[in-house]
Structures are given as C-alpha cells and as structure tokens.
Chains A and B, each alone.
Chain A
Amino acid sequence: MKNDFTKQVIRMVKKSKINIEENEFISEALNSSKSNNAMPVKLNMIAALVSDSLVSIKQKLGDSNE
C-alpha cells in the first residue's frame, strides 16, 4: 500500500528524465523514507550548530586572509 508521499514521488519520476521502473523495492523505501530519516531533535540542532560554526570559521578565515 503506497502512502501519499510515495504516490507523489512516483508521479514526479514519471514526468522526469529519471528512468526507473516502479517496483516493490523503491515503493517500500519511499513509504518508510520519512520514518527512516527521522532524527532526534537535539541531534538536528547539533548539526545546525556545528554547520553554523563551520561557516563562521570559513568566513573568518577568509576575512583574515584578505
């Protein structure tokens, strides 16, 4: 049973240049994509803070080299 997300992705794939045939394997992966990729909120926040720090370091290094 395909959920709405899966149906929508498959519809988009058919309209696109991506040449894959719909089958059980890809449908299963899409059906569970949201739950499979869900991460703890704190972990996402760590990723955001670490990313911010990387950008900050890059820009400050750039500034100091100018």
Chain B
Amino acid sequence: MIESITNSAKVQEGLIQLKPSSGFKALPSVNSTVQVNVLEKIGSNYRLLINGSVYQSNLPVTTEKGEEFLAKVMSHQPLTLGLDNFAKFGQLDAQSASLLLSKLKIAETDLTKTLLEKVVSSKKPLLKSKIDRLIEYAENMDIKIDDVLMQLLISAVWNLSEDKLKETKNIFEEVFDISFEELSKQIFALINKSNELNLSQGYYDLVNDSFILDAENFEQQLNISAVKDKSERFLNLIQFIYENESQLNLDNSANDVLSELRTFSLKYVLQKALYGKFEIYPEFAILKRKGKLELVNFRLEKNDGNSYRVISKIDLDKDDSFFIQGLFTNEKFIGEAIVNNKIDELVKNQLNVLNKKISQILKIVADVKGKIKNITTLVEGDSIITHQPINVNI
C-alpha cells in the first residue's frame, strides 16, 4: 500500500499521490501518460520532475537519482499516478506499445514490443533502466525465450541487484536451454520409451507411483503427487538410476534412455527451483487412460487474494491444442474450455462431467463452459471479461 505524503489516506497498490514541491505548470490531463524523472531521494521520498514541474512522493520501488519511468495520470485532486495500469484487462495493444516505447526512447523492434507487453501484463512499473537491462539481457542470452521464461526474466531484472543478475546469466542459459514445455515432452517421451525396456519392477513401480495419474481409477484414488511439484520424486528417480545402473544390465540404447532421463529430471528440479523463486509455476502431468499415457501441461498463477489461475493444455496433434483455463478460489472454480471451431455435444458433455466431479469431490461450485477461439481474461468473481485473442503459450 502506498500512502500519500499529502494526506494519510491509503491508496491502491501501484498508485502514487504527489504534492507539488515548487511552482508548477498545468497538470497533465487525466488518462495521459507522463514521463517521470527522479531528481533526488529525500529520506523515504523522492523529488520527481513531471512535465516541467517538481513534485514529491514516495514510490513503491527503490530507485535512484536519474531514473526515468512512465506513469498514467489517474486523477488531479490529489494528483495520482498509476504505475502499473497501462493496459485494459492486462494486455497492451500494438499502438499503445509503440507509444510507450517512443516515450521511453527505446527503438521499436519485435523483441522490444514483446518484452514491453510482458512487462505491462506482469504489472511491473515501467522503469527505463529496468527495461533497458531486460532488453540487453534477453538479446545476449543464448537460448530461446518462451512466455514463461520471459516472465521469469522480468521478475529477475526487477527484483535482483545488478551483481546477482550477472550471477544468474550463466545459470539461466544452462538450465533453460530447453523450455519447460519441451522438457516435459522429452521426459514424457523417455518414460514412454522406458516402458518398452525390460527394466526392474522397482523402476516401473517408482515411475508409476511418482509420475503417473491413473485416470481409470480416478474415483477410487486421486494420486495428486503426479500433478504437484515432482522435484523430490525426480531426485529419487535419478538416485535410483545411479544406484541400480550396474544391476540393470542395460544395453546401449537402454543406457541412453536412462542417461537422458537422468539429465532431464535434473533440469526439471533446477527449473522448478528457479521458477518457484519468482512465484512462477509451470507444471505437467502424465495421465494413464485406456492403457495409454497422455501428457498435459499446465501453469498455476497466483491471482489477487487467495485465488489462483489454472491454465491447462493438451496437444491434440502437432498443430492443434485444447485449453481449459479457470480461476480457483476456495469456494469455486470458474473457467472455460477453448476450442478452435465449434463446441460440440462431446465437449459439452465432458465439461458437465468435469463440473460435476469438481463439485462432488471438492464440494465447491464449478462452472467450466466451452468458448470458441478468443481467449478471455478471468477476473476474481463470477464475471469473465472478453478481449481480443491473445496467445496462451504455456
């Protein structure tokens, strides 16, 4: 919470209120975006230059003399600036992105636009030095950056000191040389391959108990260890492979499978530790149904209060995926299934089954509906706000 230094009324997080520090010119109009220059720090407050006038306020971020950032004028009496509300429903349109980049004096490229959009949707204050650092960091990283990794980089740049950030570069490049989604696909493929090897029962028991959700026996036993963080279980698997390598009497191809599984399991442990540090939760689950293993990727996101967003995805084939995303609170789960063309009876029926299961097992209200193509942003409560289609890479 930010407290105004002009009055003690608490204002919403992400807003600052300012008092003029010297004679000032006309106030910038409401809803306009202004550039703010940090002139100096005085105790816990800052002297700020806005449109040629000097103001004083505290800030929700620690910054230094010379910093520049953008803010949106929310109201005049008192002058209140919003630092993290540049986009409606959390998404920035292309025109607004161009405008903000030009105000930040940053060249417009595909990368800078994408990064800015992600910074805005992460609700981080638009500090020029941080955005410059993020661009430099992303440009110099020798790996492919997907949505979830970009979210991590933004958190790292905004939260870590310069020295710590330097320390992380090599770690990030080494640990994230494969995206979490690709990592889960590789692990899934290797577990499938290992099923064709004649390994000890101990190995198969460990894999089944730790990583496979038996969907056919769902009603009897809900093995949630397969959906939650599996770091300790992967560590046990690595240990098991090392300890039993000699007794397993493996041929070369089996050796390769287990050696790769060991490496990817360790990458999972490291990626989860790093993502978890920044409150980012990508995950995957392997489910067994009709004797077949299937992979589901999902991401959990902390929302305001005690609610979480759940975004789940299954690949139908090489080019087509099916999503269910929803908002969970202790009392309800409201969501939507996103389909490409039409919501047929089959999907409707399955969503009814899902709603019933959630209500019966968890004793909460469940309302997951089908939705065609355009993606929505879920807000706490019952209402679902629709906006333009966005990518929902997870």
Q: Which residues of A contact B (CB under 8 A)?
A: 5, 8-9, 12-13, 15-21, 23-26, 28-30, 32-34, 36-61, 64
Contacts and interface: CB of A to CB of B under 8 A. Distances in A.
27 contacts: A5-B235, A9-B266, A16-B263, A20-B270, A24-B167, A25-B168, A26-B270, A29-B277, A30-B270, A32-B276, A33-B229, A36-B279, A37-B231, A39-B281, A40-B330, A43-B308, A44-B228, A46-B326, A47-B312, A50-B326, A50-B335, A51-B314, A55-B294, A55-B296, A56-B215, A59-B292, A60-B350
Interface stretch (B49-57, B201-209, B355-363): B355-363
A37 B354 contact: no
B167 A25 contact: yes
A2 to B, nearest CB: 12
Interface residues of B, number: 72
B312 A51 contact: yes
The 4 A-B pairs at the shortest CB distance, nearest first, are namely A36-B276, A37-B229, A33-B273, A51-B296
Contacts of A38: 229
B113 interface: no
B310 A46 contact: yes
A18 B263 CA distance: 8
B164 interface: yes
Given A55-B296, A61-B316, 15 more contacts: A25-B167, A30-B269, A33-B273, A34-B229, A37-B229, A43-B328, A45-B222, A47-B310, A50-B326, A50-B368, A52-B215, A53-B324, A55-B294, A56-B350, A56-B353
Contacts of A8: 235, 239
A61 B344 CA distance: 10
Interface stretch (B75-83, B126-134, B169-177): B169-177
Interface of B: 164, 167-168, 170-171, 174-175, 213, 215, 218, 222-224, 226-229, 231-232, 235, 238-239, 242, 262-263, 266-267, 269-270, 272-274, 276-277, 279, 281, 283, 285, 287, 289-290, 292, 294, 296, 298, 300, 308, 310, 312-314, 316, 322, 324, 326, 328, 330, 333, 335, 337, 346-347, 350-351, 353-354, 357-358, 361-362, 364, 368
Given A9-B270, A25-B167, A39 B354 contact: no
A64 B346 contact: yes
Contacts of B310: 43, 46-47, 50
B346 A50 contact: no
Contact of A20 (B170, B218, B277, B287): B170
B171 A46 contact: no
Contact of B277 (A19, A32, A40): A32
A21 B170 contact: yes
A46 B294 contact: no
B235 A52 contact: no
Given A37-B231, A50-B324, A43 B300 contact: yes
B231 A42 contact: no
A8 to B, nearest CB: 6
A44 B274 contact: no
B354 A53 contact: yes
Contacts of B298: 47, 50-51
Contacts of A5: 231-232, 235
